[in-house]
Amino acid sequence: MPPRTIIEPFRIHSVEPLRMTSEAERREAVIGAGYNLFSLRSEAVLIDLLTDSGTGAMSSEQWAGIQRGDEAYAGSPSWYRFEAAVKTLFPMPHVIPTHQGRAAEKILMTAIGGPGRVVPNNTHFDTTRANVEATGAEAVDLVIPEALDPALEHPFKGNMDLARLDAFLAERARDVPAVFVTITNNSGGGQPVSLENIRGVRKLCDAHGVPLFLDACRFAENAWFIREREPGQGARDVADIVRDIAALADGMTMSAKKDGLANIGGWLAVRDDELAARCRNLLILTEGFPTYGGLAGRDLDAIAQGLQEVVEHDYLRYRVRSTGYLGDGLRQAGIPVMRPVGGHAVYIDARALLPHVPPLEYPGQALAVALFVAGGIRSCEIGTVMFGRHPDGSERPAALDLVRLAVPRRTYTQSHIDYVIEICAEVASRAGDLRGYRIVAEPPALRHFTARFEPLAS
C-alpha cells in the first residue's frame, strides 16, 4: 500500500515572507480599493488566489536555467533548448515563441480569422474569444450540456459536444478556419477533456476538412486526469498521453504561465508551412525575431526546464490532489462548490451560499470581499460583475455567480490551504449577514478590473 499522505514533492529552497495584516488594516485597504480586489496592492494580500497564471514558484533548475539564458538576438542556445522541449511533447514542425498565450492567439487569429469566419471551441477562454471577435469572426462554445450544471459529477466535463459540432460543421465548415479544443476547459472550472473526445473531434474535423487546434494551457493537468479517469490510460506515462493529444492536432496556442511552470511566456505551433510563414511575419511586427518572440533568452530556458518538470507524475499527483484537497475541505464545511473540482481552481457557488443577495447585488463580489477582510484571501468574482454588463448597456444576471479560488503552482503549503478552508468556513457560517454591493463607477468594457463598489446598507 502506498502511503495515504500525498506530500509536496519538493522542499523549500528560498522563501518569500508573507506580511501578516490585521482585519482593521484589510478593511481600510479594501475601502481604498473601492471594494475591488484587483485594485489592491498585493502586499495587502496574505494568500493570493486571484489566478494561477504566472504566479507559481520556479524550481532550482529553472533558476539555474535563468542563469544559463543566452541573450543572443538570433539563434541563441536558449531558443534551441526551448524548441526541443516543446517538440518533445508537441512534435510540430513550426514553433513560434510569444510573450504569453494571448499573443499567440492574436497572431493566429489575425492569420486565419476575419469577418464571416466562425471558430467553434468547447469553451473559449476570455482572451481567445476577444481575439477571435477582434478580427470580426464569431466565437461559438459547444461544450457538453453537463458542463453547465455546477453540481453534476462527470469525469470529463470539458468535453466537446460531438453531435452539436457535427451539425455545426455540416452547416458552416466552409467558414471555419479551425476548431479549437481547450485543455483543460478553464472557463468551465478547469475541467478535463478525454482523449476519446479529442479523437472524436479529430474525426469530425477530417470529415469536414477543417484543422484542429489546441488551446493547450493546462495540457499536463488534462493528461493527468486522462491517466486517472479514462479507461485503459491508467498505466501510461503522462508525456505519452500528451504526445497522443498533440498527434491529433494541426496546431496549438499555449500560455507558459500555466503548465510551462514559468512566470511569463507562450507559443504558437503549427504543422502547415504556409500558415507558419504568415504567422512568423506577424510575429516580427509585434513580438520579435522568430528565435525569441516576445521573450528573453533566460525565459526560454526557464520554460524549457518547466516543460520537463510539469509532466512528472509526482508533481501532477500533488498538483491535482492539492486542488482537490481545498475543494474537499470546503465541501466538508458545507460550502457549495462546483463539482468535480478541476485542476487549477475551486469555484464556490456564491449564489447558493448567499441566496438572500440577488445577482444584481453581486453575491460573488460580497463573498470575495468578505474572504479578503476576514483572512486576507484574494479570490476572483466570476459572475454578474464580470459578465453582467452587455454592449447595448443593459445589465442582466450572469448564468452563475461564482468565486474562484485559483491555486498557484508549488507556492502554498497544506497549512496555507487549511487556513483558507478555515477562513471560508468562518465566513460561510455568517453568510446570512453578508450584504450586497452596488457599482458606483465602471468603465465601458471589462468592468470587473476597475469598477468601484459600495456596500449596500443592511
Ligand X SMILES: *Cc1c(COP(=O)(O)O)cnc(C)c1O
Question: What does the binding site for ligand X look like in residue numbers (CB under 6 A)?
Answer: 53, 100-102, 125, 127-128, 182, 186, 215, 217, 255, 257-258, 266
Minimum distance from CB of 441 to ligand X (Å)?
26
The two beta strands, 251-255 and 266-270, are antiparallel
Residues 6 or more apart in contact with residue 457 via CB below 8 angstroms? 435
Minimum gap (Å) between residue 257 Cβ and ligand X: 5
Q: Which is nearer to ligand X, 123 or 366 (CB)?
A: 123
The least distance separating ligand X from the CB of residue 57, rounded to whole angstroms, comes to 18
Shortest Å distance, C-beta 341 to ligand X: 17
Long-range contact pairs involving 68-72 (C-beta distance under 8 Å, separation at least 24): 68/298, 68/301, 69/296, 69/297, 69/298, 69/299, 69/300, 69/301, 69/302, 70/297, 71/296, 71/297, 71/298, 72/297
Specify the residue, 264 or 366, whose C-beta has the smaller distance to ligand X: 264
Determine whether 428 is exposed, middle or buried from the number of CB atoms within 10 Å of its CB (0-12, 13-18, 19+). buried
C-alpha cell at 271: 504543422
Whichever of 49 and 217 has its CB closer to ligand X, that residue is 217
Judged by beta carbon, residue 140 or residue 353, the one nearer ligand X is 140
What residue is closest to ligand X based on CB?
101
Instruction: Give the residue with the Cβ less far from ligand X, 266 or 359.
Output: 266
Tell me the closest approach of the beta carbon of residue 254 to ligand X, in angstroms: 8
Name the residue nearer to ligand X (CB basis): 257 or 447: 257
Name the amino acid, one letter, at 201: V
Question: Which CB atom, from 100 or from 453, has the smaller least distance to ligand X?
Answer: 100
Q: Tell the smallest beta-carbon distance from residue 217 to ligand X (Å).
A: 4
**Cα 421 to Cα 134, 204, 324, distances in angstroms:** 40, 43, 12
Q: Which is nearer to ligand X, 53 or 135 (CB)?
A: 53
265 backbone dihedrals φ, ψ, rounded to 5°: 125, 165
Supply the minimum distance, in Å, between the C-beta of residue 329 and ligand X.
24
Query: Around 82, how many Cα atoms within 13 Å sit in the side-chain half-sphere?
Result: 36
In this structure, what C-alpha cell is assigned to residue 263? Answer: 512566470
For residue 144, the minimal CB distance to ligand X (Å) is 17
Name the residue nearer to ligand X (CB basis): 182 or 376: 182
Q: Are 88 and 307 in contact (CB under 8 A)?
A: yes
CB distance 280 to 290 below 8 Å? yes
| Distance of closest approach, residue 155 Cβ to ligand X, in angstroms | 20
> Quick check: 140 and 121 in contact, CB under 8 A?
yes
